[in-house]
Structure 1
């Protein structure tokens, strides 16, 4: 439903499929999401083969990538209690699949986002909650033949590293089209010129967060060692933060800058937590008895992003529940899709109820059996999905509930 709201558009016959880059036509943003774009709770690892041994080796790597996106920082991986759970990554898996393309096989793992959120909370780690605003990057590279700006159609190493590393941190980004409607940047060493450029970019691309960077290479006269020097300015909500970065490679340069940017973004999300909350209503069918009712309520309350749960009505076997969530509708859908206890009913159209949305789900907890990822390959359920191309997609499901360590227990006073 959320994805159906997106309109996919050819922009002058140029669709560049990369991590979250947005194209514009006549000043109106039309988001194009790459097929390789993964959700916050999905990790991707290139594997040599589809064996049990390789799977068990790859799961901790995939889990690391998800924890970094959920926290916004690689520092989370230094926590000893997190490291202990990485060897038990299979306990947090909801499902996985293999994607083979151009003789390269990738393992895509979907983790139980609610369970990982509890892990971060229990270990005292920061969670990047709420909406993640898109940040426009204007990176101006100074050279002997003039300045170049890294655009959405760029093929440079800076472009590649920015797209890759921002995706690894779960940071949505935009790059300028560099068409006739884009502003012409003057000398960015002058503060007034830089701030003027920021305001023009905000107006043109409709964003509230802009990064402007000046980058140039510097060769040491002693040993001809080439390094990168840069100055970065992040403008968000009327505040500007400027800092310098020096590095010996494009990768280290971009990584250092993104560390600062995501740190600020996570802090801003925490400070404006109440503003990122959203109210919506779930219509849950197949709630046939008190046990189903108790399980639905306890399950919703177990989700870290759910801040309040209130029953609105009960009509036959359909339970109407009002939720207050930390984040947006898409993030809730992603969290609910991890363990298949509540399955979205796409046949029922989502409608608006005043200021909140009505989402339709089916309670299917009774027909889902928890299965852990284990060393016995016979426990895997695999299917092959064929497409018109030569790509082969093999999907293996390892459905778990919670932490995969047993079923929930429920209080008998659920109606109080």
Structure 2
């Protein structure tokens, strides 16, 4: 059952055919923590609830530093007050405690603590990993039984950072070999990555070096930016660990921390507002779906319909962060397509609520739905 949990906490949408993986993934079970436990005693259950609470905080904030926040540490002493249910199950002869918490209260707690909140829609990352164990180098594929593959699953679930691995079928093998990854030949790997439609891809190696393991990793966006002549990494990191498992954890942690900086949004403390529009809204079902979508975005405090003109719906939004945060977050969602921007006179609002005329562009989106 635990393996099932690790496999299903992330939902990746598919269109027809393998080559149309939809970029980004929706992370499920953000209110749930699962911890290994020795027995069903009250004392161990209380300890397990606290561990599960820390897991949920980590998944919803994305950053390890959230666990050091004084507000979070204070709530940890009374974690059970936010619990909605708990239960035990066994897997491979081991006992586990599964705890669910009130998700709205978890988000409110993070906001109160001044911490970033990472929403359900998160970048999907393709992992190209060469691992050297027992003197053999290999590229870890999706079906690999190498123990590191399961560790990636576990770290992905703990961090709430969706990952996938290449098939390494004939198409992949013709384009990417061990030396391409070890030599950091980005063009070959970037070309092979396109079929997966992930938002980012990792090129990484884990190799023994004396009594330790040395890891190196680089994270790349799917495509180069319009301003760049070549694809450049957004993070590069390396280090030494005692085990392969620790190296895997370090790679996933570095990836997650970068995404938190890009997509998790803290309350700025300012009263920031903006407008955006959805075009070609033809029925009430679409409108309700759009309203629900906006309401759950971690960048938005509140959303209301400001204007309806034909089949275009304009929304007034109050933001936790800024407009760039909002649009960067929306760009991840496969249900959203950018149409254009519409230059017009919009009303912006100062922190004290005074209306000010400002010439701005309203971003227009198209709702593709599921």
Give, in angstroms, the shift of residue 49 of structure 1. Answer: 4.2
Which residue of 187, 192, 196 maps to 1:205?
196
Any conservation in 2 of the 1:71–1:127 contact (CA below 8 Å)?
yes
Which residue of 212, 230, 233 maps to 2:215?
230
Please give the TM-score of this superposition, normalised by the length of structure 2. 0.63
Call closer, same or farther: CA 1:121–1:146 in 2, change over 3 Å: same
**What corresponds to 1:19 in structure 2?**
7
**1:65 and 2:59 matched:** no
2: distance between equivalents of 1:305 and 1:55? Answer: 35
Give, in angstroms, the shift of residue 89 of structure 1. Answer: 0.8
Deviation string, structure 1 residues 256-297 (Cα, Å, up to 9, x no partner)? 2222211111112158x99999995279xxxxxxxxxxxxxx
Higher relative contact order (CA 8 A, sep 6+): 1
Give, in angstroms, the shift of residue 86 of structure 1. Answer: 0.6
2: distance between equivalents of 1:66 and 1:281? Answer: 29
2: distance between equivalents of 1:178 and 1:246? Answer: 27
**1:184 and 2:176 matched:** yes
User: Which secondary structure state, in structure 1, belongs to the residue aligned with residue 30 of structure 2?
Assistant: coil
Structure 2 unaligned regions, length at least 5? 225-231, 268-273, 279-285, 307-314, 320-325, 334-365
Please give the TM-score of this superposition, normalised by the length of structure 1. 0.57
**1:127 and 2:117 matched:** yes
Deviation string, structure 1 residues 90-145 (Cα, Å, up to 9, x no partner)? 12112223334454332211111221112112112222236201101010124686
**What corresponds to 1:247 in structure 2?**
241
**1:139 and 2:146 matched:** no
Which residue of 243, 256, 263 maps to 1:262?
256
Call closer, same or farther: CA 1:95–1:144 in 2, change over 3 Å: closer
Deviation larger for 51-60 or 132-141? 51-60
**1:152 and 2:119 matched:** no
**What corresponds to 2:288 in structure 1?**
281
Which residue of 104, 110, 120 maps to 1:114?
104
Any conservation in 1 of the 2:88–2:97 contact (CA below 8 Å)?
yes
User: Which secondary structure state, in structure 2, belongs to the residue aligned with residue 177 of structure 1?
Assistant: coil
2: distance between equivalents of 1:205 and 1:267? Answer: 24
**What corresponds to 2:71 in structure 1?**
81
User: Which secondary structure state, in structure 1, belongs to the residue aligned with residue 96 of structure 2?
Assistant: strand
Give, in angstroms, the shift of residue 255 of structure 1. Answer: 1.9
Give, in angstroms, the shift of residue 306 of structure 1. Answer: 5.4
Any conservation in 2 of the 1:114–1:304 contact (CA below 8 Å)?
no
Give, in angstroms, the shift of residue 43 of structure 1. Answer: 0.5
Any conservation in 1 of the 2:180–2:188 contact (CA below 8 Å)?
no
Root-mean-square deviation (CA), in Å?
4.2
2: distance between equivalents of 1:227 and 1:161? Answer: 18
Deviation string, structure 1 residues 183-218 (Cα, Å, up to 9, x no partner)? 332444544x233212321x1211121001122211
Deviation larger for 110-119 or 92-101? 92-101
1: distance between equivalents of 2:98 and 2:277? Answer: 30
**What corresponds to 2:271 in structure 1?**
none
Give, in angstroms, the shift of residue 65 of structure 1. Answer: 0.4
Q: How many residues align?
A: 282
1: distance between equivalents of 2:41 and 2:34? Answer: 16
**1:196 and 2:203 matched:** no
User: Which secondary structure state, in structure 1, belongs to the residue aligned with residue 121 of structure 2?
Assistant: coil
Which residue of 105, 123, 136 maps to 2:95?
105
Which one has the bigger helix percentage?
2
Any conservation in 2 of the 1:140–1:149 contact (CA below 8 Å)?
yes
Any conservation in 1 of the 2:129–2:181 contact (CA below 8 Å)?
no
**How do 1:388-399 residues align onto structure 2 when only pairs under 5 Å count?**
none
Call closer, same or farther: CA 1:38–1:103 in 2, change over 3 Å: farther
Call closer, same or farther: CA 1:248–1:133 in 2, change over 3 Å: same
